[in-house]
Amino acid sequence: MARHLTFGSEQLAAFKRQGYIKLQGMFDPAEIQELRRWCSEPIWTQEGPGGLPGFANTRYAPDQRTVFEQLAEDEELRATLRQLSEERLIYTTGNRFTVTESSGGSPWHFDRQSFCHIQPLDPGYSLWVPLDPIRVHAQHGGLVWVSDDNWSGRERLQQWAGHLRRVGTVSAREQAALLAALREQYGEQRSFPMLGAYDHAFLELFGQSDDFEVGDALLFTKFLWHRTAPLQPGPLRQRLACVLRYVSEQATLARDLMDAALAGMDDKTRREAGHFGSFLTDIPNGALLRASAHCPQPR
């Protein structure tokens, strides 16, 4: 069982301003053991659908009640998330991240791919739940993030979505000019979020991290810049974390964006890879997600 955490007005305001909050003692460590077992079940799809080492999605299927869904829908957890987001949320999918000494994890990013089925400015939240203790000054292996106070990925996410939506619709000449401009600004980087040398240095300058006990979690918005902190040599051979993804009850389907973001992946593969939006086949582009019979109830 999760705990129902309550927050004062200052903590709520800080979450709004900074885009993240550490939830200390959110889960019973026994529940984390259950999750840990669950993480080795065959429900996990192959590693790396988004090109990130150590990343796997749950093979989401509407109406499944796995340990993962049970946790995501836990009443105490939902009450905590409702208080922080000030609305009901829809649980969409879960990811698993495995980091070893030889796999560095995710570089700096904001959560675009996991939320590509909703409009760029629709609210989306990730709940990062480490299944191993994180000790920054020992082996680390946790997360590094930048408070929205310093820099939010919001406009970059808009730009990513705009780029994907338009680049395929313009003439070959305009496309070539766009790509040349990108190359001029960012060198040979091909995929968002492209970071110039100063952007990178800026993120490192403001990057912060924290220790986590088993049972703690970090809630952050889809706009938060973050990266994996590589696992340093030591007794912990790998670090596991689960991430539960939630979206606003007002979120609407961005099927065109999803199609552009997952181009090259057919519908069947998208569903097998657990991409939530690919199950919402009964609603038109732009409709509220919750209008779909395949969408879990907002809570």
Ligand X SMILES: O=C(O)CCC(=O)C(=O)O
End-to-end CA distance of the chain: 17
Please, is 298 exposed, middle or buried when counting C-beta atoms within 10 Å of its C-beta (0-12, 13-18, 19+)? Answer: buried
Nearer to ligand X among residue 156 and residue 290 (C-beta): 156
Using the rule CB under 6 A, which residue among 97, 108, 151, 192 binds ligand X? 97
- Give the distance from CA 91 to its chain's centroid: 12
8 Å CB contact between 3 and 26: yes
CA distance 177 to 172: 9
Q: Which stretch binds ligand X (CB under 6 A): 103-111, 147-155, 178-186, 187-195?
A: 103-111
Nearer to ligand X among residue 15 and residue 283 (C-beta): 15
CA distance 120 to 28: 34
Cis peptide, bond prior to residue 130, ω within 30 of zero: no
Encoded tokens for 96:
């698993």
Nearer to ligand X among residue 81 and residue 283 (C-beta): 81
Supply the minimum distance, in Å, between the C-beta of residue 152 and ligand X: 15
Q: Which stretch binds ligand X (CB under 6 A): 39-47, 99-107, 204-212, 285-293?
A: 99-107
Supply the minimum distance, in Å, between the C-beta of residue 247 and ligand X: 14
Residues numbered 176 to 235 that lie near ligand X (CB under 6 A) are 226, 228
Supply the minimum distance, in Å, between the C-beta of residue 97 and ligand X: 3
8 Å CB contact between 137 and 273: no
Using the rule CB under 6 A, which residue among 90, 195, 219, 243 binds ligand X? 243
Residue 106 in the binding site for ligand X (CB under 6 A): yes
Nearer to ligand X among residue 15 and residue 223 (C-beta): 223
Encoded tokens for 153:
């990925």
Nearer to ligand X among residue 85 and residue 106 (C-beta): 106
Please, is 269 exposed, middle or buried when counting C-beta atoms within 10 Å of its C-beta (0-12, 13-18, 19+)? Answer: middle
Residue 278 in the binding site for ligand X (CB under 6 A): no
- For residue 140, which phi and psi values (nearest 5 degrees)? 50, -120
Binding mask 1-40 for ligand X (x = CB under 6 A): ----------------------------------------
- Give the distance from CA 63 to its chain's centroid: 22
Using the rule CB under 6 A, which residue among 111, 216, 249, 259 binds ligand X? 111
Encoded tokens for 249:
């009850």
Count the Cβ atoms, other than its own, within 10 Å of residue 263.
Answer: 9
Residue 92 in the binding site for ligand X (CB under 6 A): no
Q: List residues binding ligand X (CB under 6 A).
A: 97, 99, 105-106, 111, 126, 128, 143, 226, 228, 241, 243
